[in-house]
Amino acid sequence: MIFVAVGTQFSFNRLVQYMDEWAVSDENTNNETVIAQVSDGDYQAKNIETQPFMDGEQYNKNIREASVFVSHAGMGNIISAREQQTPIIVINRQHKLGEHRNDHQADGIKWMEKLDGVYTASTREELYAHLNNIEQLKTADTSVVGSEQLSNYIADFISTGKR
């Protein structure tokens, strides 16, 4: 099972559509089911199970049981995936597509991709390339989950603005 989450503040129709189309494509060679938390988006998925919102218990259960977690580029989801030892693919919302107020997520994925178990995508092609290699995606090293490596990246970014 692949778990997808778009967050609660904004919809992310592009990501939901990408996953809906991938779920029934020839590229889904493992016939992975897809469950998605979609917020209040207006894209009507036909091939994946969707819920606008989930309680924390169900949300974390989905992350734990997923072969991969696909998410908007939010730090909370990255931390949750690392804690649950689930590889995560993050895709950024894009300002030019009207998906967010600015492009801070595009900036963020540049340093997020340096974290163990975190894979990044900005396009359908990049997302599908990761999904087509699920078996190769690794989880975060348990010795650094939520510890020094992640803390150092965040501290460096906050203090210097450099990724």
List the domain boundaries for the chain: 2-160
Predicted pLDDT at 41: 87
99 pLDDT higher than 80: no
Predicted pLDDT at 6: 92
24 pLDDT higher than 80: yes
Cα 39 from Cα 45, distance rounded (Å): 13
Write down the residue that tokens 């210097």 correspond to.
160
pTM (2 decimals)? Answer: 0.81
Cα 140 from Cα 159, distance rounded (Å): 25
Average pLDDT in the 5-25 region?
91
32 SS3 class: coil
**CATH class of the region 2-160:** alpha beta
Predicted pLDDT at 53: 94
- Which CA distances in Å does 129 have to 35, 37, 66, 108, 148? 19, 22, 18, 20, 30
Of 75 and 31, more confident: 31
pLDDT band, very low/low/confident/very high, at 143 (cuts 50, 70, 90): low
Sheet holding 34-37, edge to edge: 49-51, 34-37, 2-5, 68-72, 88-91, 118-121
Average pLDDT in the 9-21 region?
91
